[in-house]
Amino acid sequence: MTQRRSRAAGARIRHGAAAEPDLFAAAGVEVARYEPALVTASEVAEPAPASRRTARDATGETATAAVSVCAITLLAREVLEGAFPPIWVRGEICDFKAHRNGHWYFCLRDDTSQIRCVVWARDRARIPAAPDEGMQIVARGQLTVYPARGEMQFVVNQLDGVGDGLWRKALEQTRERLLRDGLLDAGRKRALPKFPRRVAVVTSADGAAIRDIIAVARRRSPGVEIVLCPARVQGEGAPEEIVAALARLERWGGADIVIVGRGGGAREDLWAFNDERVARAVAACGVPTISAVGHETDFTLCDLVADLRAPTPSAAAEAAVPVRDQLMRELGTVRDALRTLLARRASSARRTLGGAARDLTFAAERAAERRRARIEGAAGQLHVLSPLAVLARGYSVARGLDGETLVSARSFRPGVPFELILRDGAIRATTDERVVRRS
């Protein structure tokens, strides 16, 4: 193996700068210490024929054949790149700089060594969040030489914190943004319709999720219609498809509830449901939403913004679709309540009527009684006030022939007859003389 690797390195060197293989014996030995198979058979080229070499070649073997800095640097790069396939390296982040051109620069280090690293802007899309200074990470990339500085450089295209650090950080940052926009407020949660006619499902057309939902919905309420709005739920483009499916459902406008989800999977497979665009689309959905991302322990952002979180698609179907027989029983209860209430109202009306009749009789009796009492009272008063009683005591009343009572001496005129009424009759008399008392 050592022999083969040395030959490989030598072959590449000749190819790059036409140097002698033995010049790079050291490089070959260095490479040989690396255990995994680094060089495939196809990379092993035959040594270049001797005829290709000329006296003018800069072989580096003598002072007059010295190689240029550029040449040796490029050679070193080729050797390094040829020796190491893309590889995972772990270490601590230091000197992290996000350049405005979109690239990230940092060092990976441990107690004794460090490597300069770069993440090109185009590779950042695959990295959930920028790492923090001092964070323990693992990075996958290509070891190479940066010719302008002659430095070894690790070109990183995948990066993660040890123990999910970066995923968690990215998730937390997105969650913060959603929280700031009020999308996680408990007050936003809408009640689900009690009996949806149409349940829309945004998930993969060939996943287990849609089959589970159909099975559960059929069992509970056969009348409920299930409308699949297909979207890929994992991998490249999944967030965009989920967002588009939700938008399609809204434009259509025929669903009473939307279930968004998929069956269980690895964390990476569920990542579309942590996508900020998906979370915002679910939050903005005009139809009540149930998030059903098959994961018992972790919550996705989609779970947090949906009106209801179900642990599995089956559970989502149970939440969305009530058991029809149960509803029928509930309606029966309402029907009984209606009947009971009406019967009660009728019997209370009868009671009121009976009471009113009694009241009427009583009131009538009372009224008659009151009238009788008043008549008796009046009669008594009449008796007391009756002039007959005064006459009985010996008084008399004078009255003109026209019936007018004569109470004043001035009312009498001499020679004019008048009547004098006494206890037992009346007499006719004439005034002889009138004496008016001066007062």
Partner 1 sequence: MSYESDLARLEAIVGELQRDDLELDQALTLFEEGVECLRTAQAALTEVEGKVRMLVERADGSYSLGELGG
Binding site residues, partner 1, CB under 8 A: 193-195, 197, 200, 205, 210-211, 214, 217-218, 221-230, 248-249, 251-252, 254, 324, 327-328, 331, 334-335, 337-338, 341-342, 345-346, 349
Taking the least distance from each CB to partner 1, the nearer of 107 and 208 is 208
Cβ of residue 356: shortest distance to partner 1, in angstroms?
A: 13
Mapping DSSP to helix (H, G, I), strand (E, B) and coil, where does residue 158 land? Answer: strand
Q: How far is CA 169 from CA 159, 161, 225, 274, 293, in A?
A: 13, 9, 40, 12, 20
Cβ of residue 324: shortest distance to partner 1, in angstroms?
A: 5
Taking the least distance from each CB to partner 1, the nearer of 29 and 331 is 331
Residue 143 tokens, joined: 């070891």
Taking the least distance from each CB to partner 1, the nearer of 249 and 305 is 249
Cβ of residue 214: shortest distance to partner 1, in angstroms?
A: 5
Q: What is the DSSP string of 225-264?
A: EEEEEE---SSTTHHHHHHHHHHHHHHH---SEEEEEE--
Q: How far apart are CA 270 and CA 265, in angstroms?
A: 6
Sequence-separated (6 or more) residues with CB below 8 Å from residue 205: 228, 230
Cβ of residue 185: shortest distance to partner 1, in angstroms?
A: 24
Q: Position 119: which residue type?
A: V
Q: Position 310: which residue type?
A: A
Taking the least distance from each CB to partner 1, the nearer of 185 and 325 is 325
Q: How far apart are CA 60 and CA 16, in angstroms?
A: 14
Q: 93 phi and psi, to 5 degrees?
A: -75, 130
Helix/strand/coil (H/E/C) assignment for every residue in 294-343: CCCCCCCHHHHHCCEEECCHHHHHHHHCCCHHHHHHHHHHHHHHHHHHHH
Mapping DSSP to helix (H, G, I), strand (E, B) and coil, where does residue 175 land? Answer: helix
Taking the least distance from each CB to partner 1, the nearer of 229 and 308 is 229
Taking the least distance from each CB to partner 1, the nearer of 19 and 321 is 321
Taking the least distance from each CB to partner 1, the nearer of 152 and 244 is 244
